[in-house]
Amino acid sequence: MGKKNRHFHILKLIESVNVESQQAMLDELSSQNIEISQSTLSKDLKELGIIKIRGKEGRFRFVQTKERELFHVGLMLKKELLDFLTDSILVQNFLVLKTVSGNASGLAKCLDEIGWKEIVGSVAGDDTILVITQNEQDAKSVMSRLDEIISSR
Amino acid sequence: MGKKNRHFHILKLIESVNVESQQAMLDELSSQNIEISQSTLSKDLKELGIIKIRGKEGRFRFVQTKERELFHVGLMLKKELLDFLTDSILVQNFLVLKTVSGNASGLAKCLDEIGWKEIVGSVAGDDTILVITQNEQDAKSVMSRLDEIISSR
DNA sequence: GTGTCTTATTGATTCACATGAATATTGCCT
DNA sequence: AGGCAATATTCATGTGAATCAATAAGACAC
């Protein structure tokens, strides 16, 4: 069972079951045949941006912080969604992004969430995204930021 | 420069420039500051399913085979798109797949292209895919195939 | 503060993957 | 067939990620 899948299960876990400690999580995961050590779990939680808080009645809960969700979105952009980007064209203060068919909307949403300040908004079809910026400078900036991420893959 | 990005450039290359040998490719790539050995290129081409054929006038060309494009789609499903799958629900001969918002269409297209025989067709919205099969048995089969891929990530 | 339960970090290890040099194989021309 | 150019494969190596055991650090009750 891979790491990604384990993360998926951990996220499910903190939403549904009431776990109050990492040990409880380990037990739950174990019952799903996911056997990991406490140190690995601790790192997983860190990666996922999950923290422990004290809810009502003094009970503990684990929740995912917004910052880290965003961090996660950033990773997603880097590792996955950009694989579907096939072309980018600069047109004045617009950036036209071409993607593998069907993936424009997903990539556009991701760009939205990441909230780069240069981007005013975007419209997505099936395989094309129109990214709108205030001026040509900003459009260029977005393009180079994307290029940078892409070439590091 | 990562492998994925290199693959991207190689695919671009065989569409635009007329390269008739791996050596020519290496030179082209080199002019883009991508320096790799011939053995690495050979492996890249294999992964991408690119073969050498003799076109008109006896000139050689490199093209991507359909089989390998499909293989690539399979990898994409495995490595990337399935990350956006958050839930799957079996309803008689339907499978309802929930995804991260915006990614339903991309995943559905991928499933279409992969052409599993159990799948009659699919409809995708923003975050939901309805996969239609002939009967409950087929729907179950699709679900377990997806599960298998997911848990191996 | 002390002790205990919980979580984070460190250090060592393993493992998979990517790569290039060297070599083998293939395919083609004569 | 022989020989050459192009491509594929093998083998050894390096690198980074993932993991766990052990330990440190932190939180909290008393």
Q: What is the mean pLDDT of residues A82-89?
A: 82
Q: How far apart are CA A153 and CA A79, in angstroms?
A: 7
Q: What is the mean pLDDT of chain B?
A: 85
Q: Any chain A CB within 8 A of the CB of B16?
A: no
Bases of chain D within 7 A of a CB of the protein: 6-10, 18-22, 28
Task: Answer for A52: CB within 7 Å of strand C.
Answer: yes
- Top mean-pLDDT range of A43-47, A82-86, B55-59: A43-47
For residues A94 and A50, state if they share a domain: no
> Residue A120's domain spans which residues?
82-151
| Same structural domain, A33 and A59 | yes
pLDDT at A78 over 80: no
Q: Give which of B152, B144, B150 is closest to B95, Cα–Cα.
A: B144
Which residue of chain A comes nearest to B111, CA vs CA?
Answer: A102
Q: In this predicted model, which residue has the larger pLDDT, B137 or B76?
A: B137
The residue-averaged pLDDT of A144-149 equals: 80
A73 has pLDDT over 70? no
- Examine the fold and report which residue of B40, B70, B100 is the final residue of a domain before the chain moves on: B70
Please tell me which residue, A110 or B78, carries the higher pLDDT value.
A110
Answer yes or no: do A88 and A145 share one domain: yes
Evaluate if residue B61 carries a pLDDT over 80: yes
Q: Considering the domain boundaries, does residue A89 fall inside one? A: yes
Over 70: is that where the pLDDT of B75 sits? no
Same-domain check for residues B85 and B147: yes
Residue B66 resides in a domain: yes
Nucleotides of C under 7 A from a protein CB: 5-11, 18-22, 28-29
Tens-digit pLDDT profile for residues A45-63: 998 889 999 876 778 899 9
Q: Which of B78, B105, B110, B149 to mutate to test the interface with A (most CBs of A within 10 A)?
A: B105
Q: For residue A60, is it within any domain?
A: yes
State whether A58 and A89 are in the same domain. Answer: no
A108 lies in a domain? yes
Ranges A37-46, A101-110, A128-137, B68-77: which has the least confidence? B68-77
Label residue A107 by pLDDT band (50, 70, 90): confident
Report if residue A57 sits inside a domain.
yes
CATH code at position A90 = 3.30.1360.40
Instruction: With respect to residue B54, please indicate whether it lies within any of the assigned structural domains.
Output: yes
Domain of B32: which CATH number? Answer: 1.10.10.10
pLDDT for the residue B42: 96
Torsion of the alpha carbons at B108, B114, B115 and B117, rounded to the nearest 10: -100
Same domain, B95 and B55: no
A73 falls within a domain: no
| Mean pLDDT, range B4-13, rounded to an integer | 88
Question: Any idea what DSSP says for residue A50?
Answer: E
CA B5/CA B8 separation, integer angstroms: 5
Q: Which residue is nearest to nucleotide C20 (CA to C1')?
A: B37
Q: How confident is the model at residue A84 (pLDDT cuts 50, 70, 90)?
A: confident
Interface residue A153 vs chain B (CB under 8 A): yes
User: How many Cα atoms sit within 13 Å of A95 on the Cβ side?
Assistant: 29
Q: Which of B70, B99, B128 is the last residue of a domain?
A: B70
Residue A75: pLDDT above 70? no
CA–CA separation, B104 and B126 (whole Å) = 6
Average pLDDT score, chain A: 85
Q: Are B59 and B9 part of one and the same domain?
A: yes
Instruction: Map residue A60 onto helix, strand or coil.
Output: strand
In this predicted structure, the answer to whether residue A83 has a pLDDT above a threshold of 90 is no
Subunit contact A102:B102, Cβ cutoff 8 A: no
Query: B87 with B63, same domain?
Result: no
The total domain count for chain B is 2
Q: What is the pLDDT of residues B82-136, one digit of tens each?
A: 777 888 899 999 999 998 888 898 888 888 877 888 999 999 999 999 999 999 9
Say what the pLDDT of residue B122 is: 93
Shortest distance, CA B100 to any CA of chain A (angstroms): 8
Report whether pLDDT(A66) > 70: no
Is pLDDT above 80 for A32? Answer: yes
- Is the model's pLDDT at A114 over the cut of 80? no
